[in-house]
Amino acid sequence: MRIHLISPTHYLHDGSLHKTTRYWTSGITLPYLKALTPPEHSVTFTDELMQELDVGRVEREADVVGLTAMGPQIRRAYDLADHFRARGKRVVLGGTWVTLTAEESLRHADAVVAGEAEYVWEDLLGDLAGGRSRGIYRAGRWHDLTDLPMIDYWSLPLLKADAFRSSWLYRKYFFWPIFFSRGCPHPCEYCAVQTYYDRTFRTRPTDEFIDEIRRMKAIGASRFLFLDDNPIAHPEKAKEMLAALVRERIQWVSQATINVARDPELLDLVARSGCRVLSIGFESLSEASLASVSKQFNRPSRFAEDIAKLRAKGIQLIALVMVGLDGDSLETFPATLRWLDENKISFLKLFTPAPYPGTKFHRDMAAAGRLLSDDWGAYDYGSPNVRPLNMTADQMIDGFKTVYSGFYSVRSMLRRFVPPPRRNLLEAAAMLVANAKVNGYLRRNPDAWGTIS
């Protein structure tokens, strides 16, 4: 069969499609699925975030259309699924959102992959080729992450391969994606990741991971994004891998919990193996807010000390922060902004609570009658999808905008970047440029928020 895979983009408020011309990294879902596909089928793909989807060509040339979706992309994914099905294509949906809403997703598709594709994709394609479908395909066990299929890295959807070969600047800009682990054992109730993985966590064998790093280095990669949600969840496994990584002399960025700062041996290995930037889910300065979503392990009273330790190792911090949780009040907004400035946070991703369907947070908010929208296209982290407890939804959005624009103001940038850190000056400069870009973007689009992460 001829298969076309699509990662759709999301709709903007005016109904147009969000597009970007350049992005600093890429997901691997589409090339990975291609590598997983038995050779008797042919696979092409489109990431609509940067590329135009040639709908006519897919209609003419594909037998099967496979769609993945993140957050608000799901609305576009369903529209495309309905469109292609109406034209006789067999449509398959998969990915985090789809997994958590498999029954609903099946209304738009011939088949749904709930969870990982490794153990079901071949059977599913065999069924479709034979004119059958079992509907929802869910593997009976998690993949052990050994002998993973090798993807064609030059086909990464958001990579500009020519620019990578010709431009020094682009080589510094692009981070090559790779993953060491899957899942996360923490119980954060709003989190689609722990829900998808049922709080399980697995790592790849260190030697296989290092082999892949070497294969990627051989094509010119030196800066990597670990796609993991929390690669340090099993500290001993992480230490083994990081100790081997030190010898590879690469630079890497990732997400991790703040626990990374609380284990000196781990932190030392993280820094020595080339970590430059970590995205950390601080989420809130309020113990009550963290307790309301079962993220007590964060312990805000330790944040300042933790951040100082990370900064001392030359690691830039991207803070992920949520405003409008149940312990928050109007005082939360100025307090959050002060805290971000005082701790010299390099970059901010600010969120309003997004109750992704399938999570406990969504069930709780629905049961309490606090969901304000069931338009999945608005589940974008900057919209009022939940009625806050101690403020109105308008106050939450106003406060969100105040923190967001306050953080990216010139005054805040000066407070956070002057004097510059002693180590890894290049990364600090890159962060400052990124801040300036958001500042410019917000001036041009005063109602916008950080549309993509």
Question: Residue 24 CB, nearest distance to ligand SF4 (Å)?
Answer: 21
Backbone angles phi, psi at 276, to 5 degrees: -110, -35
Instruction: Quote the least distance from Cβ 434 to ligand B12, whole Å.
Output: 13
**Residue 184 interacts with, from ligand B12, ligand SF4, none (CB under 5-8 Å by kind):** ligand SF4
Token pair recorded at residue 229 = 């949600």
Q: Quick check: bond before 231 cis, omega within 30?
A: no
Q: In which element (H, E) is residue 183 found?
A: strand 181-183
What is the distance between the alpha carbons of residues 52 and 26, in angstroms, rounded to a whole number?
A: 16
Residues that bind ligand SF4 (CB under 6 A): 184, 186, 188, 191, 193-194, 229-230, 257, 281
**Residue 204 Cβ vs ligand SF4, minimum distance, rounded to whole Å:** 18
Q: Which does 110 bind (CB under 5 to 8 A by kind): ligand B12, ligand SF4, none?
A: none
- Taking residue 210's Cβ as centre, other Cβ atoms within 10 Å add up to 17
Minimum CB separation of residue 8 from ligand B12 in Å reads 8
**Is the CB of residue 269 less than 8 Å from the CB of residue 260?**
no
Least separation in angstroms between CB 386 and ligand SF4? 16
Q: Could you say which of ligand B12, ligand SF4, none residue 49 binds, taking C-beta under 5 to 8 angstroms by partner kind?
A: ligand B12
Question: Which of ligand SF4, ligand B12, none does 188 bind, CB closer than 5 to 8 A by kind?
Answer: ligand SF4
Smallest gap from residue 397 Cβ to ligand B12 (A): 15
Q: Which is nearer to ligand B12, 32 or 339 (CB)?
A: 32
CA angle 8, 10, 15 (to 5 degrees): 125
d(CA 264, CA 210): 23
Is 387 strand, coil or helix? coil
Nearer to ligand SF4 by C-beta: 379 or 408? 379
Residues that bind ligand B12 (CB under 6 A): 7, 9-10, 18, 26-29, 32-33, 47, 49, 66-68, 70-73, 92, 94-97, 113, 116-118, 121, 157-158, 179, 192-193, 227, 229, 356, 380-381, 452-453
Say how many C-beta atoms besides its own lie within 10 A of residue 389's C-beta: 15
**CA 166/CA 175 separation, integer angstroms:** 16
Partner whose footprint covers residue 257, from ligand SF4, ligand B12, none (CB < 5 to 8 Å by kind)? ligand SF4
> Six-digit token pair at 197?
């993985």
Encoded amino acid at 354, one letter: A
Minimum Å gap between C-beta 311 and ligand SF4 is 21
Q: Is the CB of 235 or the CB of 314 nearer to ligand SF4?
A: 235
In whole angstroms, give the CA distance from residue 51 to residue 8.
10
For residues 174 and 179, which CB has a smaller minimum distance to ligand B12 in the complex?
179
Closer CB to ligand SF4, residue 257 or residue 332? 257
Among candidate residues 200, 29, 52, 55, the one with its CA nearest the CA of residue 118 = 29
Question: Which listed option, ligand SF4, ligand B12, none, makes contact with residue 94 (CB within 5 to 8 Å by class)?
Answer: ligand B12
Rounded distance, CA 156 to CA 6, Å? 13
Question: What does 392 bind: ligand SF4, ligand B12, none (CB cut-off 5 to 8 Å by kind)?
Answer: none
Q: Are 159 and 50 in contact (CB under 8 A)?
A: no
